[in-house]
């Protein structure tokens, strides 16, 4: 897929390392993390949220990490090891950091995309931590422990957890289709479901009914089916969550955005098919010129991007009151969503995206960071000229690729700078990148070097 208003095909890598507080200041502690009511096969990651942004980032402790057998408690900051089905040994210098549980249920009847449940870290006295949907509600203070103490030990509690997960996933589909980000949808979802559990008697009535069934599956199903109807969001309830989240997003000084640039204006105003010419030159190939079409559909506040080269990948941009939400329909990336402020000043960041993926026997990790560089009334490059209200983004893409060769980990580093040009109501009109390649053909942003390659993309009039 070609690069359009984000980079989709990149090569590079970062070696993943645990991070945390200074190991001189803390003692490495061991804690037990257990999954409750969540199948092991839908867990894609568990991490400690070092920077409290709700995302498992590359430098944060992750369940995916494997360590060299030579690792010792003195040579690592923290790690998370799967010791048995649904049970992890957490070794960390700071167990109080929030935990994130990333899930992706490919067998779900409703929602097959990734989403993350948030949890508090462990207190000094806690040796164990359960990760469940109920515990996430408790940690976010949507439920109290006493609300669900009876439910946790009721008969057929496993069937209850299955219903809870299925309804959570159905609500995720409902809320994301309304335009909420995945993170917003999770919070609105578990809040509303917690209230429904309370109003439907999760403290006493539901446990009593489940226990009275005495294992009779027909009876159990009848109790849980009635509860499930209440847990699944109605359209009115979903709209109320949407309004509440928009209200929270607008919780700022009403004059804060005065004189700021509305970045959403620099995307297509309506559905359109755009034709681009791409010119690519490397240090070892002649310039290749090709064309492609970008098909953009707008429905309400959501723009959906596809190209016409037969690939199934697509991307979407949701324009909310104070935020732009970018989603990529690509299961290869470990981070398929990120947010951008809608109102910006020159010099402020636009897209800041970190992700990783596997390519053969290599692991690729990418940082793609952009700022709003300038605002122009015209732009020309080569034989192309554009006139109108135009903004420029300067984007630095750094990548590192790691692979094993003769039992040694090898790394290849690369960096490129892109200048992306967007015209008001039209969207991207050009992307310009001049690059220097070294003798191995790796892109290098060397100060003062003479470019021997480029990637140019132009919107045809």
pLDDT score recorded for residue 165: 97
Within 8 A by CB and 6+ apart from 249, the residues are 320, 321, 322, 323
Within 8 A by CB and 6+ apart from 312, the residues are 329
pLDDT, one tens digit per residue, over 215-272 is 999 999 999 999 999 999 999 899 888 877 666 555 545 456 678 899 999 999 888 8
Q: For the chain, what is the mean pLDDT?
A: 82
Mapped onto helix, strand or coil, the DSSP state of residue 158 is helix
End-to-end CA distance of the chain: 22
Give yes or no for a contact between 205 and 173, defined as CB atoms under 8 angstroms apart.
no
Q: What is the largest CA-CA distance in the chain?
A: 79
pLDDT score recorded for residue 252: 46
pTM assigned to the model: 0.56
Mapped onto helix, strand or coil, the DSSP state of residue 187 is helix
Give yes or no for a contact between 85 and 40, defined as CB atoms under 8 angstroms apart.
yes
Domain ranges of the chain: 14-131, 158-249, 261-459
Residues above pLDDT 70, as percent of the chain: 82
pLDDT score recorded for residue 27: 82
CA neighbor of 365 nearest in space, from 77, 73, 60? 60
Distance CA 118, CA 139 (A): 8
Give yes or no for a contact between 99 and 129, defined as CB atoms under 8 angstroms apart.
yes
Instruction: Report the CATH architecture of 261-459.
Output: Beta Barrel (2.40)
Mean pLDDT, rounded, for 359-373: 86
Q: What is the bridge-based pairing of β-strands 349-359 and 362-381? A: antiparallel
Range list of β-strands (E), 149-262: 261-262
Q: 417-438: b or e for each residue (b if 16 or more CB lie within 10 Å)?
A: ebbbbbbeebbbbbbbbbbbbe
CA neighbor of 349 nearest in space, from 336, 335, 334, 338? 338
Mean pLDDT, rounded, for 162-173: 96
Place of tokens 């039209």: 426
Give yes or no for a contact between 33 and 132, defined as CB atoms under 8 angstroms apart.
no
Which residues sit opposite 397 in a β-bridge?
A: 368, 416
pLDDT, one tens digit per residue, over 334-347 is 777 888 888 999 99
Distance CA 151, CA 157 (A): 7
CA neighbor of 280 nearest in space, from 443, 450, 390, 445? 443
Q: pLDDT: is 371 or 27 the higher one?
A: 371
Within 8 A by CB and 6+ apart from 127, the residues are 31, 32
CA neighbor of 123 nearest in space, from 144, 82, 148, 94? 94
In the structure, what pLDDT confidence band is assigned to residue 190 with cuts at 50, 70 and 90? Answer: very high
pLDDT score recorded for residue 441: 67
Give yes or no for a contact between 374 and 360, defined as CB atoms under 8 angstroms apart.
no
Q: pLDDT: is 417 or 328 the higher one?
A: 417
In the structure, what pLDDT confidence band is assigned to residue 365 with cuts at 50, 70 and 90? Answer: confident
Read out DSSP for 384-448? EEEEEEEEEEEEEEEEEEEEEETTEEEEEEEEEEEEEEEETTTEEEEEEEEEEE-TTS-EE--TT
Read out DSSP for 336-351? -EEEEESEE-TTSEEE
Within 8 A by CB and 6+ apart from 435, the residues are 416, 443, 444, 445, 451, 452, 453, 454, 455
Distance CA 378, CA 376 (A): 6
pLDDT score recorded for residue 314: 79
């Amino acid at each position: 897929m070609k690069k359009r208003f984000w980079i989709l095909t990149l090569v590079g890598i970062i070696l993943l390392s645990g991070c945390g507080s200074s190991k001189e200041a803390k003692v490495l502690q061991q804690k037990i993390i257990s999954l409750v009511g969540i199948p092991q096969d839908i867990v894609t990651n568990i991490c400690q949220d070092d920077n409290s942004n709700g995302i498992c980032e590359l430098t944060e402790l992750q369940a995916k990490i494997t360590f060299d057998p030579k690792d010792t408690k003195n040579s690592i900051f923290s790690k998370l090891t799967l010791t048995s089905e649904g049970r992890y040994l957490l070794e960390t210098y700071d167990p109080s950091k929030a935990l994130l549980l990333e899930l992706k249920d490919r067998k779900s009847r409703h929602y097959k995309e990734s989403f993350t449940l948030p949890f508090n870290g462990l207190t000094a006295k806690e040796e164990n931590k359960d990760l469940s949907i109920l515990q996430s509600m408790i940690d976010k203070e949507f439920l109290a422990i006493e609300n669900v103490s009876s439910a946790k030990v009721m008969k057929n509690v496993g069937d209850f957890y299955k219903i809870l997960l299925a309804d959570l996933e159905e609500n995720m589909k409902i809320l994301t289709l309304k335009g909420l980000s995945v993170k917003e949808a999770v919070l609105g979802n578990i809040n509303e479901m917690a209230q429904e559990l309370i109003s439907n008697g999760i403290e006493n009535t539901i446990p009593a009914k489940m226990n009275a069934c005495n294992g009779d599956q027909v009876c159990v199903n009848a109790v849980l089916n009635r509860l499930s109807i209440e847990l699944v969001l109605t359209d009115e309830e979903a709209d109320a969550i949407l309004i509440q989240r928009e209200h929270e997003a607008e919780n700022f000084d009403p004059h804060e955005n005065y004189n700021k640039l509305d970045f959403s204006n620099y995307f297509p105003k309506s559905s359109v098919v755009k034709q681009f010419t791409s010119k690519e030159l490397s240090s070892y190939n002649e310039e290749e010129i090709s064309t492609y079409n970008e098909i953009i559909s707008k429905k309400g506040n959501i723009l959906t991007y596809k190209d016409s080269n037969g690939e199934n990948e697509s991307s979407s941009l949701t324009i909310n009151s104070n935020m732009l939400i970018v989603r990529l329909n690509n299961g290869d990336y470990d981070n398929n969503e990120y947010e951008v402020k809608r109102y910006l000043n020159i010099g402020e960041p636009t897209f800041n995206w970190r992700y990783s993926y596997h390519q053969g026997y290599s692991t690729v990790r990418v940082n793609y960071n952009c700022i709003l560089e300038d605002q122009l009334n015209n732009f020309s490059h080569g034989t192309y000229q554009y006139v109108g209200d135009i903004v420029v983004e300067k984007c630095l893409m750094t990548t590192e690729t790691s692979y094993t060769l003769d039992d040694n980990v090898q790394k290849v580093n690369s960096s490129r700078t892109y200048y992306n040009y967007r015209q008001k109501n039209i969207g991207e009109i050009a992307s310009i990148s001049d690059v220097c390649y070294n003798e191995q053909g790796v892109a290098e942003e060397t100060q003062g070097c003479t470019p021997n390659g480029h990637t140019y993309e132009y919107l045809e009039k």
